[in-house]
Structure 1
């Protein structure tokens, strides 16, 4: 069983973990260390149990806020899946489409005449 060494605040730790979980343990320890160092910068030295408790509570608060945001995003996603936004595509009335086709035909005829005039 592998062991991982890490620091939290002002103390070193060594902890055994399952094979393949070393990276996860190091990441979790780094997150706890970041919170512990922020506490130590503000409050100075304190007993290890209190430091770990405060750092853990700060991480729990952050996780709670993240869970709230994820739940809100999931609700919004479910709402959008249930009621997809309507996309309206404008429809060109047939009269306008016919008029545009007639204008295009006239333009092509004028272009043909212009080419014939240039060739003559």
Structure 2
């Protein structure tokens, strides 16, 4: 079992951990050290146990706040996922049918357009 030396609040500690967890321990110790150092700056020298207790409580408070935010984000994500699934399944989507124009109407409109162009050319020819 590896031994890791960590520093918290200016004090060194030797801590054992599982093989491969050394980096996690160092990261956690660094987080605790930030809180302990902040406490030492604000309050001054205090007993080791009190410093560790206060730093742990500060981290626990921060963690609880983050867990609340995660729960809120998960709730919003679930709501958005439900909306997405409803939209994909066609729920709540109004179907709009576009009418198809009969070919006779299209032919008539093309004929009217050709006549309008011919008239426009005739008018342009007279004014020139």
Stretches of 4+ aligned residues off by more than 6 angstroms: none
Superposition deviation, residue 10 in structure 1: 2.4
TM-superposition CA deviations, 1:75-106 (whole Å, max 9, x none): 000000111396x9xx9x88xxx9xxx9xxxx
Gaps of 5+ in 1: 103-120
Counterpart CA distance in 2 for 1:50 and 1:14 is 19
**Corresponding residue for residue 5 of structure 1:** 5
Equivalent residues in 2 for 1:1-120, closer than 5 Å = 1-84=1-84
* TM-score, reference length from structure 1: 0.70
The structure number with the bigger radius of gyration is 2
Give me the CA root mean square deviation: 2.4
* TM-score, reference length from structure 2: 0.66
Counterpart CA distance in 2 for 1:3 and 1:27 is 15
Gaps of 5+ in 2: 88-92, 100-105, 111-128
